[in-house]
Amino acid sequence: MKIAVFHNLPFGGAKRVLYEELKALSKKHEVYLYQLSGEKDDVFDFRKYTKEFHEFKFSLANEFPGFLNRLYSDYKKFFVLKKLHKAIAREIDSSNFDVVLIHPDHYIQAPFLLRYLKTKKIYYCHELLRIAYEKQFTFDKNVILLKKWYEKIIRLIMKNIDKTNARFANIILTNSAYTKQNIKNAYQKEAIVCSPGVDTNFFKPVNKVIKDNILFVGDEDQILEKGFKNSLNIDLKGRYKIKKLVRNNKNDDLYLKRLYNRALVTVCLTQGEPFGMVPLESMSCGTPVIALDDGGYRETIVGGKTGFLVDKNAGQIQNKINYFVFDPVYSVTMGNSGRKYVKSKFTWENHAQILEEAIKL
């Protein structure tokens, strides 16, 4: 089949999903990639899996001061970007593709492309436009009334754009049952769960690595008001350090692999996480996970077996960390269970199979 793929994703887990999809699709199909110009990325080389690579220039950068900068950026997102997506749709429709696989445009989430394409289109929805749907992202900054009203109106416009565009998809794929339910609530459309996987041949335990840190990722200021170090009264026994994971395009896979292997436990505190690649990669490296009993974490962590699911409570988080600090053998046993669990359920082969079935529908 001749397949077009579109995205405008920032660096992160969603981009890894796209990379693995291109790798899998290129084995059986002709793949043509369409994307907007964005940040330089030395981690994911999409070109080697595509027959043709099309990049379109777009940027919100401008030299206007203060609020004029915001006005100009919103104008470009709502009008200039829309026009560009329409032009890309015309180009794709004129090229006789069998299907178009569409990933989000991070400026607006569900791309305008969806409403203009006539070719069969599959939308992989990693998450909804969270600032428009989730209470935790309610705008509460202390600014003048005019700016508050402007922000409220802009979010309503973006919510309408996201919903309208997404409903034009012929098929929606998503990463978890949690996101599937959110899609049904927001778009009134059914989605197919196509969970991401992990390369367990790469993300694996490394022999003779000393576990000397406790790895944190997520919303520390919202869950632990004084931060990881100051909110938790943990006796680290002089053996462990608190390490915070910030994912960016400087963190290649080798760096992440070392980090997971050196962790006694990985603590994931992102609220409303749609899926979460960090827990899977950590467990694949034989390191158990403590995560919020929330969102997609409920689908990737087996409480009491591969780690623990906890409430938004500093005391509870602290107790579970101490569980591993005072008896590190639990890190090994739960880590082994986690790796087995990931290998049995979260593979890129499973992901590719569901994607292939969707393309043929």
Q: How would residue 227 be classed by pLDDT, with cut points 50, 70 and 90?
A: low
Q: Which of 2-6, 186-190, 210-214, 345-349 has the lowest mean pLDDT?
A: 210-214
Q: Which of 40-44, 103-107, 337-341 has the lowest mean pLDDT?
A: 40-44
Q: Are 5 and 100 in contact (CB under 8 A)?
A: yes
Q: Which of 104-113, 273-282, 309-318, 335-344 has the lowest mean pLDDT?
A: 309-318
Cα distance between residue 268 and residue 273, in whole Å: 9
280 pLDDT more than 90: yes
Q: Do domains 2-197+348-360 and 213-345 have the same CATH topology?
A: yes
Instruction: Identify the three-state secondary structure at position 83.
Output: helix
Q: Phi and psi for 252 in degrees, rounded to 5?
A: -80, 175
CATH number of 2-197+348-360: 3.40.50.2000
CATH number of 213-345: 3.40.50.2000
**pLDDT given for residue 248 in this prediction:** 66
Q: Phi and psi for 87 in degrees, rounded to 5?
A: -65, -40
Cα distance between residue 181 and residue 298, in whole Å: 14
Pairing relationship of beta strands 289-292 and 307-310 according to DSSP bridges: parallel
- Amino acid residing at 132: A
Q: How would residue 230 be classed by pLDDT, with cut points 50, 70 and 90?
A: low
Cα distance between residue 167 and residue 87, in whole Å: 20
Q: CA angle at residue 271 from 268 to 277, to 5 degrees?
A: 45
274 pLDDT more than 70: yes
Q: How would residue 252 be classed by pLDDT, with cut points 50, 70 and 90?
A: confident
Round the average pLDDT of the chain to a whole number and report it: 91
Cα distance between residue 67 and residue 346, in whole Å: 45
Pairing relationship of beta strands 192-193 and 213-218 according to DSSP bridges: unpaired
Pairing relationship of beta strands 30-36 and 2-8 according to DSSP bridges: parallel
Cα distance between residue 308 and residue 43, in whole Å: 31
- Average confidence (pLDDT) over 287-304: 94
pLDDT tens digits along 33-79: 999 987 776 678 899 999 999 999 999 988 888 888 999 999 999 99
Cα distance between residue 114 and residue 165, in whole Å: 6
The domain locations on the chain are: 2-197+348-360, 213-345
